[in-house]
Amino acid sequence: MKAAVLYGPRDLRLEDVAPPEMGPDDVLISVRSVGICGSDVHYLQSGRIGDFVVRDPMILGHETAGVVVDVGANVKGLRVGDRVAVEPGIPCRTCEPCKTGRYNLCPDVRFLATPPVDGSLCELIVSPADFAYKVPDHVTLDEAALIEPLSVGLHACRRGGVTAGSTVLITGAGPIGLTCVMTALAFGATRVFVTDLQEHRLRKAEELGATAALVVGKDDVREAVLELTEGRGVDVAIECSGAERALHTCVQAAKPGGRVVLVGLGADDLVTVPMVHVATKELDLVGIFRYVYTYPAAIELVSTGRIDMKKLITHRFPLEEVHKGFEYAEKGIDGAIKVMIEVG
């Protein structure tokens, strides 16, 4: 089968590989749609993200949807022909985090396109049946693939306690920041402010319903947010850029007793935090790592029209043009926000 295989920095090859083998609890999926994620781009650029290093050839891709073409002997909930969104992180199911309902923190999780685990930019993948979620017929497979990044936004808003009437600041208007915008509004937030360096991303945020879009380096974000909230600050600040300066802005713009959610991961392991603000305002700083059991809720939000993930898609390329797709995603060519690779 055809696959997009990364051998090292800037060495992505489209080649034939052996198809995967299926177990009795698995389903075999014909991959149809895969979104290019920022992590895929980082692996292409550097061959690593933190301690995760591409030492052997690895198939990229983890935002995945497709059609079931075979089922294992023990599988009861899915059948051939079902259209599915694939949750890419498979935990051990036996450790303490797994047993206490936080399987995203499993130390032995196997996550697609995270070394040494192959990803989904290929024609066929195998998934445990309980991590392949059937989607309604009216949900496109592009939308189904984007249940994965939407899950990050959903988990971030849950961890932040976003609810009806919340005022929210989101720093970073890449695909994850934009999913946070849509999720916050779906959760009932009444005012959502967004920051970014790139104006085309901010225009997209406004299109999705953001109350105000602020250009980093041009607008004084902290002062603007305080003015927009009559000096109160925001209930929840969600940091999606991974930039130290943006974290400072979130801490400074949060109201007393507010919450700051850390989503974005920067290149540096150590960053400074304005601890006086954290202490004197009694802020809660919470991290998120991927998501945990968000797919059913995310599929419901999309299938009922509460969230329209199609609005994030700017470009589509066939698997044969995967290099071009990565170039668009990396450089933001032609206003690229979410680039999809159509496999099937």
Q: Which amino acid is present at 112?
A: L
Q: Which residues contact 218 (CB under 8 A, 6 or more apart)?
A: none
Average pLDDT estimate for 146-175: 98
Average pLDDT estimate for 254-271: 91
Q: Is residue 283 part of a domain?
A: yes
Residue 332, pLDDT above cutoff 90: yes
Which tokens sit at 284? 């809660």
* Residue pLDDT, tens place only, 303-323: 999 999 999 999 999 999 999
Distances (CA, A) of 97 to 77, 90, 113: 25, 13, 22
Which tokens sit at 296? 């059913």
Provide the pLDDT confidence category of residue 268 given band limits of 50, 70 and 90: confident
DSSP state of 13: E
Any idea what the CATH number is for the domain that residue 267 is in? 3.40.50.720
Half-sphere exposure in the Cβ direction for 87 (13 Å, CA): 25
Residue 344, pLDDT above cutoff 90: no
Residues 246 and 329 in one domain: no
DSSP state of 37: P
Residues 266 and 131 in one domain: no
Residues 189 and 229 in one domain: yes
Residue 50, pLDDT above cutoff 90: no
Report the pLDDT value the prediction gives residue 219, as an integer from 0 to 100: 84
Please give the mean pLDDT across all residues of the chain.
97
Number of domains in the chain: 2
Residues 187 and 265 in one domain: yes
Provide the pLDDT confidence category of residue 4 given band limits of 50, 70 and 90: very high
Residues 135 and 10 in one domain: yes
Q: Which residues contact 88 (CB under 8 A, 6 or more apart)?
A: 62, 63, 64, 111, 112, 113, 119, 120, 131, 148
Residue 200, pLDDT above cutoff 80: yes
Residues 157 and 140 in one domain: no
Report the pLDDT value the prediction gives residue 269, as an integer from 0 to 100: 79
Residues 139 and 157 in one domain: no
Report the pLDDT value the prediction gives residue 217, as an integer from 0 to 100: 87
Residues 257 and 277 in one domain: yes
Q: Is residue 103 part of a domain?
A: yes
From 203-212, 214-223, 288-297, 334-343, the region with the lowest mean pLDDT? 214-223
Residue 331, pLDDT above cutoff 80: yes
Residue 137, pLDDT above cutoff 80: yes
* Residue pLDDT, tens place only, 211-249: 999 999 888 999 999 999 999 999 999 999 999 999 999
> From CA 216, how far away is CA 174, in angstroms rounded?
14
> From CA 150, how far away is CA 142, in angstroms rounded?
12
Of 134, 133, 143, 91, the residue nearest 289 (C-alpha): 91
What are the φ and ψ backbone dihedral angles of 267, each rounded to 5 degrees? -75, -25
Biggest distance spanned by C-alpha atoms of the chain:
61
Q: Is residue 300 part of a domain?
A: no
> From CA 65, how far away is CA 30, in angstroms rounded?
9
Residue 210, pLDDT above cutoff 80: yes
Q: Is residue 296 part of a domain?
A: no
Residues 6 and 104 in one domain: yes
Report the pLDDT value the prediction gives residue 106, as an integer from 0 to 100: 98
Which range of residues forms the domain containing residue 97? 2-145+308-342
* Residue pLDDT, tens place only, 102-125: 999 999 999 999 999 999 999 999
Residue 14, pLDDT above cutoff 80: yes
Three-class SS string for 281-338? Answer: CCCEEEECCCCCCCHHHHHHHHHCCCCCHHHHEEEEEEHHHHHHHHHHHHHCHHHCCE
> From CA 177, how far away is CA 196, in angstroms rounded?
10
DSSP calls for 71-127? E-TT--S--TT-EEEE--EE--SSSHHHHTT-GGG-TT-EETTSTTS--S-BSEEEE
Rg over alpha carbons for the chain, rounded to the nearest Å, is: 20
Provide the pLDDT confidence category of residue 278 given band limits of 50, 70 and 90: very high
Residue 272, pLDDT above cutoff 90: yes
